[in-house]
Amino acid sequence: MTRALSFSFISLPLAFLILVTEAAYAQYPSRPITLVVPYTAGSDADISARNLAEHAARQLAGRILVVNQPGASGAIGSQAVRNAAPDGYTLLLGRIASLVILPATDRNTPYQWSDFTLLSTLEVNPLVCAVKADSPYGTMRGLVDEIRKQPGKLNFATVGAGTIQNFGPQYLFTLVGLPKDAAVGIPYKGSGELIAALLGGDVQFACTNVGALLAHFRSGAMRALMTTMPAPLKDLPDVPTARSAGWPEMENLVGWSALAGPRELPREVVERWSKVMAQLAHDRDWIAGNERLGGMPAVRSPQETEAFVRAQFALYFKLALRLGMRE
pLDDT-based confidence at 16, cuts 50/70/90? very low
> Regarding beta strands 296-297 and 184-187, do their DSSP bridges make them parallel or antiparallel, or are they unpaired?
unpaired
Average pLDDT over residues 240-252: 95
What's the topology of domain 126-252?
D-Maltodextrin-Binding Protein; domain 2 (3.40.190)
Average pLDDT over residues 287-296: 88
**Is it the case that residue 129 has pLDDT exceeding 60?**
yes
DSSP symbol at 241: B
Average pLDDT over residues 274-292: 95
CA R_g for the chain: 23
Output the pLDDT for position 25. Answer: 55
pLDDT-based confidence at 19, cuts 50/70/90? very low
**Is it the case that residue 4 has pLDDT exceeding 60?**
no
> Is residue 268 within 8 Å of residue 25, measured between CB atoms?
yes
DSSP symbol at 63: -
List Cβ neighbours of 131 (8 Å cut-off, separation of 6 or more): 137, 143, 198, 204, 205, 222, 223, 225
138-175 tens-digit pLDDT: 999 999 999 999 999 999 999 988 899 999 999 999 99
Top CATH class of 27-124+254-322 equals: alpha beta
What pTM, to 2 d.p., does this model score?
0.87
Taking residue 186's Cβ as centre, other Cβ atoms within 10 Å add up to 15
pLDDT-based confidence at 94, cuts 50/70/90? very high
Residues of the chain with CATH 3.40.190.150: 27-124+254-322
**Is it the case that residue 5 has pLDDT exceeding 90?**
no
**Cα gap 59→281, rounded to integer Å:** 12
Residues of the chain with CATH 3.40.190.10: 126-252
Average pLDDT over residues 78-98: 97
58-71 tens-digit pLDDT: 999 999 999 999 99
How high does pLDDT run on average in the chain? 91
Give, in degrees to the nearest 5, the angle at Cα 126 between 125 and 130.
125
206: phi then psi, degrees, rounded to nearest 5: -155, 150
Q: What sections of the chain are H helices per DSSP? A: 2-26, 44-60, 75-82, 96, 102-105, 140-149, 164-176, 191-199, 210-219, 242-245, 267-280, 284-291, 302-322
> Is residue 84 within 8 Å of residue 262, measured between CB atoms?
yes
**Cα gap 309→304, rounded to integer Å:** 9
Share of the chain above pLDDT 90, in %: 84
Share of the chain above pLDDT 70, in %: 92
